[in-house]
Amino acid sequence: MATTMQEKDVRSRVLALLTEIAPDIDPATIDPKRELRDQVDFDSMDRLHFAVAISEAFHLDIPEQDYAQLGALQTACEYVQRRSGGS
Amino acid sequence: MQVEFRLPSLGADMESATLAQWLKQPGETVRRGEPIAVVETDKGLIDIECFDDGTVTALDVAPGTKVVVGAVLAHLSAAGAATASAPAAAPPAPEPRATAPAAAAPAAAAVPATPAGAPRDSARPGGHTRISPAARRRAQELGVAVEVLEQQAAGGIVHIEDVERLAAKAKPPAADARSGMRAVIGNAMARAKREIPHYYLEHTLDFGAARAWLAQHNAALAIQERLLEGVLLTKAVALAAARLEGFNGYFRDGRYERAAQVHVGTAIALRGGGLVAPALLDADRKDLGTLMREFSDLVARVRAGHMRSNEFTAATITVTSLGEEGVETLYPIIHAPQVAIVGAGRIAERPWVCAGAVAVRPLLHLTLAADHRVTDGRTGSRFLQAIAALLADPQRL
């Protein structure tokens, strides 16, 4: 999968995954730059669910030490692009 | 045989609930332990399970109706003992149940079995419309009827955007759901503090061995199989509760009743405030992978607003954990009629004397609140030490 995904496309897919694993979050209120745990009480289980959803949707193997990079919407999108957009 | 399906009590402080949604229609078969309706309580949305195998013959209450505990919600024609071979549309329940009324398993009598084959992500089973909690809340704010939403997305999931699309209307702002839950928590805790003579113990332990074991264990696993630290704690508490007398059960009618099974209530914070503590059933007898899957499923369903009624009433002991963001020590209040609750603060790196030298270690402050009518500090101390010993040697979990 060497094709570089469009930034907007990644953003909307990641946001859709977020609302799927946390349907009690109103996506319109998410500030992409803030840590999810600070703005919507993301706990370790939410974070794991988010990592699993991203891993499955983008076919990425995400090691445990990378979870921290999925802490905010923006950093999660950057992580996905970096990992799936070729090396 | 006609059977009445009544609204069960989901806690001593619950008097009524509002029927939110039917998950079954007349003519459909239901199995014991399968959700049949969703009700809205002060604790949030809860799936109410059926206590019998059978076929729905009539729904007696319309969505939106407030009903009191014990009210008849629906009628079923029960599959009798002679015709017990229910159509196996879903995978069978975990333990094969006797076709004749079983005299065995007295403790389990009040608790319907959880279907083992329940989809991992029960937040979105096919066939029924699911309305996300955020969407439901917004619908309430905007005055959109739930029935309208259900028609809009038959069989799918209704998200908050769907609600907003539908709501070209005005809004009577209502934020009573959270304040309702706050009142329920307040009443339950006030009663527990008033009636239960709590005693508190605290123990600090080095979580390093558990953490190292977990990192190694997880490194070899696919992301879907990895464990969280909280699962180790749940299992350790469950094993200790099964082994030591006086912490697993209920205090009712002036005496302690030991529970035969260990169902660990797990406090889960709700976004925007409040918490629920549904149970992980038979936590002492399940391996860590199974417990993790069930814990994960439980949180997903809490987030999606689909807890099951038996999970609410089954807990025999509770664990509450502040997670990574909290302070290091908490002093929880027992959830009556249980007799013990274990609290875990944030694990923080601190200086610790180990093998004669000061080292930086991840420390966990474990607290116990227990009922003095059942145990005293000495037994409580042994209980906490048993949990600590298990966490120090995680292979035993």
Closest-CA distance, B224 to chain A, in angstroms, reads 6
Sign of CA dihedral B295, B296, B300, B306: negative
B window 320-349, beta carbon within 8 A of A: 323-325
The domains found in chain A, sorted by start residue, are: 7-84 (1.10.1200.10)
ipTM of the complex, rounded to two decimals? 0.84
Whole-number percent of chain B with pLDDT over 90: 45
Q: What is the C-alpha separation between B374 and B156, in angstroms, rounded?
A: 49
| A56 neighbourhood in chain B, CB within 8 Å | 224
Residue-level pLDDT at B284: 97
Residue-level pLDDT at B218: 95
Count of beta carbons in the 10 Å neighbourhood of residue B165: 11
Per-residue pLDDT of B153-211, as tens digits, reads 655 667 766 776 666 443 333 445 567 778 888 888 999 999 999 999 999 999 999 99
Spell out the residues 6+ positions from residue B165 whose beta carbon is closer than 8 angstroms to its own: none
Closest-CA distance, A4 to chain B, in angstroms, reads 24
Q: Is the Cβ pair A23, B305 closer than 8 Å?
A: yes
| A67 neighbourhood in chain B, CB within 8 Å | none
Of these ranges, B42-46, B141-145, B210-214, the one predicted with the greatest mean pLDDT is: B210-214
Q: Is the Cβ pair B223, A62 closer than 8 Å?
A: yes
Q: Residue B356 above 90 pLDDT?
A: yes
Mean pLDDT (chain B) is 81
Spell out the residues 6+ positions from residue B103 whose beta carbon is closer than 8 angstroms to its own: none
Nearest CA in chain B to A40: B271
Burial B25-48 (b: 16+ CB within 10 A, else e): eeeebbbbbbbbbbbbbbbbbbbb
| A22 neighbourhood in chain B, CB within 8 Å | 271, 303
Q: What is the C-alpha separation between B263 and B278, in angstroms, rounded?
A: 9
Closest-CA distance, A3 to chain B, in angstroms, reads 24
Mean pLDDT, residues B383-397: 96
**Residue among B202, B204, B201, B212 at smallest CA distance from B353:** B204
Q: Residue B90 above 80 pLDDT?
A: no
Q: Residue B103 above 50 pLDDT?
A: no
Burial B187-216 (b: 16+ CB within 10 A, else e): ebeeebeeebebeebebebbbbbbbebbee
Give B151's pLDDT tier (boundaries 50, 70, 90). low
Give B45's pLDDT tier (boundaries 50, 70, 90). confident
Task: Please name the helix (run of DSSP H) or strand (run of DSSP E) that holds residue B334, with its range, or none.
Answer: none
Q: What is the C-alpha separation between B298 and B304, in angstroms, rounded?
A: 10
| B224 neighbourhood in chain A, CB within 8 Å | 52, 56
- For chain A (87 residues), the mean pLDDT of every run of 10, in chain order, is 68 92 86 90 90 94 92 94 75
Closest-CA distance, A14 to chain B, in angstroms, reads 16
Per-residue pLDDT of B254-308, as tens digits, reads 999 999 999 999 999 888 778 889 999 999 999 999 999 999 999 988 888 778 8
Nearest CA in chain A to B326: A43
| A64 neighbourhood in chain B, CB within 8 Å | 215, 218-219, 226
Q: What is the C-alpha separation between B148 and B364, in angstroms, rounded?
A: 49
Cis peptide leading into B173, omega within 30 of 0? no
Residue-level pLDDT at B178: 62
Q: What is the C-alpha separation between B350 and B288, in angstroms, rounded?
A: 28
Closest-CA distance, A47 to chain B, in angstroms, reads 11
Closest-CA distance, B271 to chain A, in angstroms, reads 6
The domains found in chain B, sorted by start residue, are: 2-78 (2.40.50.100), 198-396 (3.30.559.10)
For residues B114 and B310, the answer to whether their CB atoms sit within 8 Å is yes
What residue ranges in A1-87 does DSSP mark as E strands? none
Closest in B123, B224, B296 to A45, CB measured: B296
Specify the higher pLDDT residue, B299 or B134.
Answer: B299
Q: Is the Cβ pair B157, A63 closer than 8 Å?
A: no
B270 and chain A in contact, CB less than 8 A: yes
Closest in A26, A55, A63 to B160, CB measured: A26
Residue-level pLDDT at B328: 95
Q: Which two tokens stand for residue B267?
A: 């406090």
B287 and chain A in contact, CB less than 8 A: no
Residue-level pLDDT at B144: 66
